[in-house]
Amino acid sequence: MALCSGPHKAGVSQSLRDGSLQVPAAGLRRLPARHVPIVPAQPLKIRPAPAAGTVTPAATAARPAASASAAATATAAPQGSLPPAAGPSGSANDFANFKKAAHSGANIVPLVQRLFSDQLTPVLAYRCLVRDGDTEAPSFLFESVVNGDQQGRYSFVGAMPAKEIVATQKRVVVMDHEAGTSEVSEIDDPMLVPENITRSWKPAAVEGLPAVFTGGWVGYAGYDTVRYVYGGKLPFSSAPVDDRALPDMHLALYNDVVVFDQATKIVYAISWVHVGAKELGSDAALREAYDGGAARLKHLSALLNSPPPPLQGGEVGLALGQRPASPGKSNMTREQFLGAVGATKEHILAGDIFQLVLSQRFERRTFATPFEVYRALRVVNPSPYMVYMQARGAIIVSSSPEILCRVDRQRVVTNRPLAGTRRRGASTEEDAALERELLADGKECAEHVMLVDLGRNDVGKVAVSGSVKVRKLMEVERYSHVMHISSTVTGDLLPELDSWDALRAALPAGTVSGAPKVRAMQIIDELEAAKRGPYGGGIGHVSFTGAMDMALGLRTMVIPTNRDDTTYKYNRAITTATNETRREWVMHLQAGAGVVADSVPEAEYEETVNKAAALGRAIDLAEAAFLGTSQ
């Protein structure tokens, strides 16, 4: 393993490995917050299941009403399907085995249909579930590229959540789409709402399902959810101006999920059925629950087996490594940003902090749709966490390389800081030379070591004493266009805690805040122009097993929706050569730079511009490919 060279690393590597650096105990506090109104839930659009042999336009997937005959057809394999996955005793896709699973102590049981993936991709599957113009339907598409050029094994698609939780400061709206209800409450820590629901889950262990996310919560916990944790030290009243009115947290509960296994070429259509005291007390009620799940599964499989909707093609004709001339208009002037860097350095010299990550937000306007931009981003910047997510108030398009918080089924917590960057070389020799240069850069390595120590501290808050380990230290990871220094910190989660506690401890990552974390965030509140929103928070999922995988909200575009105020009036439109009318979209690209004592303000400014411009290249490609513009 290559380590940094230079005097800054003396003694650091060994102390990180043997645990001699102290991890202070820290209690996680929760804060009161102000009341902020929220837009009530809108009714979701319904799509009927297609009849056999019919072709219907793609639309948002719907939950059909359960019927007495649904169970009889649930296991009938549609065209192109495989036999159903094995259940607790043979198959969970028949009522006898479903009943056995329900009475074994489980309160959620999956029904599964396996399909061939030969004629289906994750992008097409998403379009089978959500029609092209339905940009407000909560839904998601997760994909992955590892090591810069290898497709991740699993992809995930979902639409039509059963519930949604929307938190703005301490006001929480819980929308139950199955019951048709909406409840509003106020709570100091809104994360307790999904956490309490998660703790109630007891999923059935079904053979044949991949040991990955197959259903549960999907959404984001924005940067400002850290204010739920640190109480009066970071009140919402001290936050920068909120100019977008986005929720601080949005989570949707998906009982119906599509999982692609790229290795086996199998698509899993999964519908989870919730079982309570009512169902366990009556065979008729249990049968009704089973019939409902079977009907949903049949409908989901039918959508995936129906002819896919048309997907516009396009040529990848741009030089992808060439950055745009500008990432767009910033919410800070150049002079304001340089002044903020200067103020940060004064805090460092005064001993308040060691490092601070200062960011600015750029705005691009485009007639390319968010989904087209996502398709382009997959080409421009393939990353471990590729995300297209339609949430309340915004669409999120992301290509994050970094874990914020991961808790696996064995309750191992993982924190994985990425810091220190070089571009990829044009040849193998240049690539190796750039790696050596990166590991010899004292500033880059010193910043990374600080972040590793922060990661140890975050994991140590929730881990069993003595279990915190630095599994990998300062290794170089390669991505499509850049390489980063990476380290991996793990620990065993305390028995009385869960993945939500691990998330609270991790928020926000040191790579988007600084060190010491709380004081750095207080200074960020003073210096930045607006609330960060999803940028710098966590984007990902929590499964029915309680496992969590949250990516850090970096390399992320936030596209506000449902806006009709003077700031974001989507009042422009164009008509294409094919008489297609397109609306204009506002896309926010936020990027930060780590400021330390010897930082050059102009260099830190250029770093944020370059990062945002590189992300904006996906917008350029989408416009060139799907609108026919030239860049």
Whether the bond into 401 is cis, omega within 30 of 0: no
- Domain assignment of residue 444, yes or no: yes
Whether 297 contacts 146, CB under 8 Å: no
Mean pLDDT by 10 residues, the chain (631 residues): 37 37 31 29 31 30 38 38 42 81 95 93 96 92 80 93 97 95 96 97 91 98 96 93 96 98 96 96 95 96 88 80 78 98 98 96 96 95 95 96 95 93 88 95 89 94 97 89 91 98 96 95 98 98 98 96 46 56 93 93 93 90 86 55
Whether 17 contacts 470, CB under 8 Å: yes
- Domain assignment of residue 176, yes or no: no
- pLDDT at residue number 52: 31
- pLDDT at residue number 268: 97
- pLDDT at residue number 574: 56
Cα separation, 328 vs 618, whole angstroms: 13
Is 605 one of the catalytic residues? no
**Element at 473 (helix H, strand E):** strand 469-478
Whether 459 contacts 491, CB under 8 Å: yes
Domain range enclosing 455 = 416-492
The model's pTM? 0.84
- Domain assignment of residue 143, yes or no: no
How many residues are listed for the chain in this entry? 631
Number of domains in the chain: 1
Among candidate residues 364, 535, 537, 540, the one labeled active-site is 535
Among candidate residues 227, 250, 361, 484, the one labeled active-site is 484
The C-alpha angle 529, 585, 176, rounded to 5 degrees, equals 85
Cα separation, 458 vs 515, whole angstroms: 12
Among candidate residues 154, 594, 605, 617, the one labeled active-site is 594
DSSP bridge partners of 574: 582
pLDDT (tens digit, 9 = 90+) per residue, 533-552?
A: 999 999 999 999 999 999 99
Is 535 one of the catalytic residues? yes
Q: What are phi and psi of 135, to 5 degrees?
A: -85, 0
Is 555 one of the catalytic residues? yes
Q: What are phi and psi of 348, to 5 degrees?
A: -65, -45
- pLDDT at residue number 10: 36
- Domain assignment of residue 472, yes or no: yes
- Domain assignment of residue 282, yes or no: no
Q: Which residue has the tokens 């984001």?
A: 220
- Largest Cα separation within the chain, whole Å, is 74
- Domain assignment of residue 185, yes or no: no
Among candidate residues 511, 556, 561, 608, the one labeled active-site is 511
Among candidate residues 30, 114, 555, 617, the one labeled active-site is 555
Whether the bond into 138 is cis, omega within 30 of 0: no
- Domain assignment of residue 422, yes or no: yes
Strand pairing category for 181-186 and 249-254: unpaired
- Domain assignment of residue 375, yes or no: no
Structure tokens at 280: 């366990």
pLDDT (tens digit, 9 = 90+) per residue, 61-84?
A: 433 333 333 333 333 333 455 444
Nearest to 58 by CA among 124, 113, 117: 124
